[in-house]
Structure 1
Amino acid sequence: MFDLVNKHRKFVQILLALITLPFAFWGIDSYFKDAASTDEVARVGSSKITLQQLDVAMRERADQIRSRQGGSVDAKLFESPEFRQSVLNELVEQRLLLVESERLGLVANDVILRELIAQIPAFQENGKFSPTKYEQMLRAQGMNPTSFEQNLRRDLTQQMLINGVAATTQISRTQLDQIIQAEAQERDVAVAMIAADDYLKSVSVSDEAVRQFYESNPKQFQTPERVKVAYVVLSDPKVVAKESENFSNMVYEQADSFKDVSKALNLKVEESGWIGSNGQGAQGVLANPKVLQTIFNPANLKDKRNSAAIEVAPNVLVSVRVTDYQPVGLRAFDSVSAEIKTFLTRKAAVEKATADGEAKLAELKVGNSVADLKWSASKSVSRLQPNGLTRDAVQLVGAVDANKLPAYTGSQMGAEGYALYKVNSVKAGAALSDEKRAQIGAAYQRFVQQADVVSLMVALRDRHPVKIAKRSDTEKQ
């Protein structure tokens, strides 16, 4: 069944790369989910996206973010309308690709699908595909090979559509020469800073302004909800193999204590310090995303009962119980007033520096001299060799009209103030090696391919109308 692996290993590796995004984004667990809900949150053409599908996708995205951040993520983020909307947008784009693939008759064939499954590490033993492990893992997720392969075929087919569009993108030799000429072109640039520090003494922030900022921005001064927990860890592989079911039963049956399970399995009952909902203070197994999610589950915060056994790693089971809880709080005004005043003072100084810088730039552009500017020594700058300039500054410098020199431009530099740039001369850059030319060509081709995919999604929205249900219709009651 899988005899093409060795014959076409390179081809299979390419296919694996093609599905990296859906697996990395949704996690393999997304291929084990089938939504049965009839609650509709969106419609793409005649295809529905259900509330259950959205809930599953939101949970999986949250798990992925927690895993990537080591658990240090405020749980409130995943309850925000912005998070919900971003996940729904992803589902809509996936469904657009599916509907269009069906319209075009695109289908990933059985041979490619089976080769792909054989390369998934979760289904392998000793580096080789195991039919037994494949079926066992699917059964554990409540699925069978037929339904799993149907879902995987769908996602691979969508990726085929994207790559079909990207494959049509070609850059001509003339286009590449023009791109390289622009990238390598050198501009002789001097810089003059309008520093915000020079305006600090001229700024006065009243106590009333500080108080008003505090009262108008309460979220900036919130302290996250936090807990203390008791927990037990079962991690001896031999004991886990024999007693995992017993462990699960005991933490459930004596839900307000770990006394019985501790005595029966010789486990130490551990106690944590304060742990924030953003993961601050969590150490060891408590920093695991699954454990943090369990700890801050509203039911666990309220009931303060032992959690179900959580598998945080192979042969490692954990149960936690909240012992103390502090809700979201607000830092006292007196403890943050100095911090606010410093912030507002800097903000006002930056605004003054920016206004002054923009006024000076306007004078320079019409040919007037500005006496109090301190220009740095000139230096050669290109997109390939920015020589200390930020990427945005290089873009600005590269965009000025080279037909009338010196030419001027400027940009806001965050808390530092405002920067003015004087372009004194322009010259062609040195010839690039074939290797460097190839690197630039490949990077630009990827950029154009991405733009083509964006254009595809815009076109698909026109072809297959997207309707989003009103929020009140899609909220759980």
Structure 2
Amino acid sequence: MFDLIRNHRRWMQFVLLLLILPSFVFVGIQGYSSFMEGDKSLAKVAGEAVTQQEFDAASRNRLDQLRGMMGAQFDSQAFDTPAMRQAVLDEIINTRLISAEATKNHFSASDDQLRATIQAIPAVQEDGKFSNARYRDALAAQGMTPVMFEAQLRRDLALQQVLGPVAQSTMMPDAVMDRLVAAATERRSIQTLRVAAADYRAKVSVSDDEVKAYYEANRARFEVPERVDAQYVVLDQGASTSGIAVSEDDIKSYYEQNKGRYGQEEQRRASHILITVDSGASESAREEARKKAQSLADQAKAPKADFARLARENSQDPGSAAKGGDLDWFGRGMMVKPFEDAAFALKDGEVSGVVATDYGFHVIKLTGIRPAVVKPLAEVRAQIVEEIKQQQAARRFAEAAEQFTNLVYEQSDTLEPAAQKFGLKIQEAQGVTRSGLQGNDVLGNPKVAQALFSDEVLREKRNSGVIELGPNRLAAVRVVKHVPASVQPLADVSSGIRAQLTQDKALDLARAAGEERLKALQAKDSSQGFGAVVTVARNAPQGVAPALLNAVMKAPAGKLPAFVGTIAGDDYVIARISKVEAAPKPDAAAIAGEKSMMERRWAQAEQLAVLQTLREKYKVTISPEGTALTTAAPAAER
């Protein structure tokens, strides 16, 4: 039974990241512009508004996660797209829908489910076992208490009951899988003939009027976005750690106060025999099970009794019965409380009486004790010194942050006093847009870019408020120069427009010539001008352009040779299909891997269908502001 608790949690694995990236977090520090403009309703779910503030906070969270993953390669402008904004809004709406459905159906997570999920989190394990000390330390590092975290986790487990069963029940029929494998692996032998647009450029002329007309019709493409030159200073905890001395008395006192963290709690090993009882069983059935457990307890306590044999022959816990009832080592908090209390009250080798839990009746034999072990001070001294320094630095940083904030606010026309006070360098950057500055970890931060373009900073040339970049890292910025958005003059872009129009016209001529050649080939076969034969498949394109490969694999193969043509890159390409054959069937392992992947995709599709049904059920509406937000062009194109 307890082995089942440990192992039965596949569908819950998503929660293992909760200590690092807590899910469904939409309430952040209020953006400056949101504060100035008020909360706009972007959508409504069951009559409740999704505000601009929620959207901004969720967008910042997503960008911060991407920045953390991509580092210096991160470009916020690349993610300022209608698709990304739509994804963020959909995420907020979907979370609201799932929460509403879970609440309506009274979904909840049991204590055992919560306990099993927490114990499976790698970050709180030591040597593969749950560590209560690590658990509390990990939560403290995230600014959370066990009560806070467990309430959030219990809620997320309840929410998973809305979509979890959909994913668990998804199964790909073998017949469908066979057809998909056949389609993906079917091989076609082709030759290609390329009608190059470059061969027609000499025949193309582009007039000045055409260049001007294109410029006027596409002015947005030539717009240079609004930008500023900025100054900024950064205060981090590193400025607070220098010069910290730790006394020997402080080290000893800290060690005594935190001994529990520098060792291993007492652990016990036990075997058990379980006689299960359904929660809805009658009183007579429960009494019969209890009597059976009592009989086994009496046998197990007899001299020279073979407890392992009794467990193998009688225990109804499928996870441990075959192992003679062995449950391996465990500490406090890893078993249900009645079982734990009984196990920790036994002496080594002693057999308990009948112990009742929600799962039935147990007979427990204690098979080992590992006493609590505390590491000596000498072994953890360096760790303690570093922890004390970090604590003192955090206190210093809190004091410095308050002074930094006051200086930036009180002398709002310059960053110089704050920089001098803390020995900081005033840094400068040019060309910062509303999407931030690519490659700059400060000015690339969406919160910083938002502050730079607020009225107080942009128009009145005042310092921004202090902005939290991350834990123990603050920044303040100011605008030195503002350059409004403008459209590049025609003279500066005319050569590029002329080249583009020339290419477009040349490609049109190549397409016309290619389509004429294709008709002739479809009427009368010829391999003249075609390249060498190449065998392609959907899962083996051999470098063939996707557009051409798609046309080749979709072409009717009843009569060969067959011909298809399409634009591929800057040319028109004709393919001559001379042979179609089924590939050898992949081995069972490869098919199993593909089937698993397809089942995951199918599950995602079914979950999306459920969410769409919930949208109708809870009457989701998107406001004009929400539509405008998710369809606006990227800042770089505006």
- Confirm or deny a common fold (TM above 0.5): yes
1:18·1:159 contact (CA, 8 Å) conserved in 2?
A: no
Structure 2 residue aligned with 1:259? 416
Structure 1 residue aligned with 2:59? 61
Structure 1 residue aligned with 2:220? 219
TM-score by length of 2: 0.61
2:589 is matched with which residue: 411, 435, 450?
435
2:195·2:510 contact (CA, 8 Å) conserved in 1?
A: yes
1:228 CA drift (Å): 1.8
1:336 CA drift (Å): 0.7
For 1:115 and 1:133, the matched residues in 2 are separated by: 17
The count of corresponding residues between Structure 1 and Structure 2 is: 453
- 5+ residue gaps, structure 1: none
For 2:619 and 2:205, the matched residues in 1 are separated by: 54
2:498 is matched with which residue: 327, 330, 341?
341
Instruction: Map Cα deviations across residues 336-356 of structure 1 (whole Å, 9 max, x no partner).
Output: 100111011112222332343
1:404 is matched with which residue: 539, 542, 559?
559
Structure 2 residue aligned with 1:307? 464
1:405 partner SS: coil
1:205 CA drift (Å): 1.3
Q: Are positions 1:387 and 2:542 aligned together?
A: yes
Q: Which has the higher contact order (CA 8 A, sep 6+)?
A: 2
Amino acid at match of 1:30: F
Structure 2 residue aligned with 1:183? 184
For 2:589 and 2:192, the matched residues in 1 are separated by: 33
Greater displacement, 12-21 / 248-257: 12-21
Instruction: Map Cα deviations across residues 413-435 of structure 1 (whole Å, 9 max, x no partner).
Output: 13x12222221111221242332
Amino acid at match of 1:129: Y
For 1:250 and 1:267, the matched residues in 2 are separated by: 13
TM-score by length of 1: 0.79
Greater displacement, 232-241 / 125-134: 125-134
Distance 1:132 1:399, change over 3 A: closer
1:287 partner SS: coil
For 2:53 and 2:519, the matched residues in 1 are separated by: 53
1:75·1:278 contact (CA, 8 Å) conserved in 2?
A: no
Structure 2 residue aligned with 1:137? 143
Distance 1:385 1:60, change over 3 A: same
Q: How does 1:65-464 map to 2 (within 5 A)?
A: 65=63, 68=66, 72-74=75-77, 77=80, 87-113=88-114, 119=121, 128-130=134-136, 133=139, 137=143, 153=154, 155-235=156-236, 236-238=239-241, 240-280=397-437, 283=440, 285-365=442-522, 367-369=523-525, 374-414=529-569, 416-464=570-618
1:449 CA drift (Å): 2.1
1:401 partner SS: coil
Distance 1:158 1:341, change over 3 A: farther
Instruction: Map Cα deviations across residues 97-130 of structure 1 (whole Å, 9 max, x no partner).
Output: 34444455433445545665784979x9998222
Instruction: Map Cα deviations across residues 122-148 of structure 1 (whole Å, 9 max, x no partner).
Output: 9x9998222895598369xxxx956x7
Amino acid at match of 1:198: D
For 1:60 and 1:38, the matched residues in 2 are separated by: 14
For 1:473 and 1:409, the matched residues in 2 are separated by: 40
For 1:442 and 1:368, the matched residues in 2 are separated by: 46
Instruction: Map Cα deviations across residues 162-186 of structure 1 (whole Å, 9 max, x no partner).
Output: 2322222212333333322222221
1:286 CA drift (Å): 3.2
Greater displacement, 389-398 / 246-255: 389-398
- 5+ residue gaps, structure 2: 31-37, 125-129, 242-395, 630-638
Q: CA RMSD in A?
A: 4.1
For 2:604 and 2:53, the matched residues in 1 are separated by: 28
Distance 1:454 1:423, change over 3 A: farther
Indicate the percent of aligned positions where both proteins have the same amino acid: 28
